[in-house]
Amino acid sequence: MLWFGLKRKLNALEKQMSNICVKVEKNESFEQEIQRILLIGEDEEMIELVDQFSELNHSSLNSYYDMHKVLDKLDEETLVGSIARLKGIEEVLNSAIHITPSVTVLTLFISAYVALSQTDESLFLGYIAVFISAGFVSIIFNWSRRNRKGRKRAVYFRSLLEHRLEKFKNNNLVDEE
């Protein structure tokens, strides 16, 4: 199951990169495509871009430098807008907001198991409540791990953009003097 999910994710990344390469071949530059995603793209596209950046960032030194060159070419409005959007995405990916209601529902299922197992007639229903609780714990664990990874990548990408924005502002101050 895990291998199938990884294989599907790798296939999706390859497809997205090939789509971007096709757009680059059609005289639409890679920088313009990234700028479009950062400014007006869907949140899912932005999360995918951050994931791609993170994957490419760890693959080789050349891809690391290429991606940073692309970030250097972004203008101030793009940097400010994408930083604001990334802060919103970080809040969406914050799993701490969703943990409390999930734990409450889990407690309900566990207490239902205890109550149903006390009576001899409802032992089967108690086992059903245990299986539902186990599935619920598994879903919460996987979901929070995935969100934590996505949030970590979004925070890293936002800090890179904030660094580029500071660099951009410092260069403008030097040019004005």
Ramachandran quadrant class, 76 (left: phi over 0; alpha: psi -120 to 50; beta: rest): alpha
- Top pLDDT among 15 and 142 is at 142
Q: How many domains does the chain have?
A: 1
Q: How confident is the model at residue 1 (pLDDT cuts 50, 70, 90)?
A: very low
Contacts 24+ apart (CB under 8 A), 37-43: 38/74, 38/78, 38/81, 38/82, 38/85, 39/77, 39/78, 39/81, 39/82, 43/85, 43/88, 43/89, 43/92
pLDDT, tens only, 33-83: 888 888 888 888 888 888 888 877 666 777 777 777 888 888 888 888 888
Cβ count near 47 (within 10 Å): 19
Q: Is the pTM of this model over 0.75?
A: no
pLDDT, tens only, 101-142: 777 877 887 787 777 777 766 677 777 777 887 887 788 778
pLDDT at 27 over 50: no
Domain region containing 111 = 2-176
Closest CA to 68 of 152, 153, 157, 173: 157
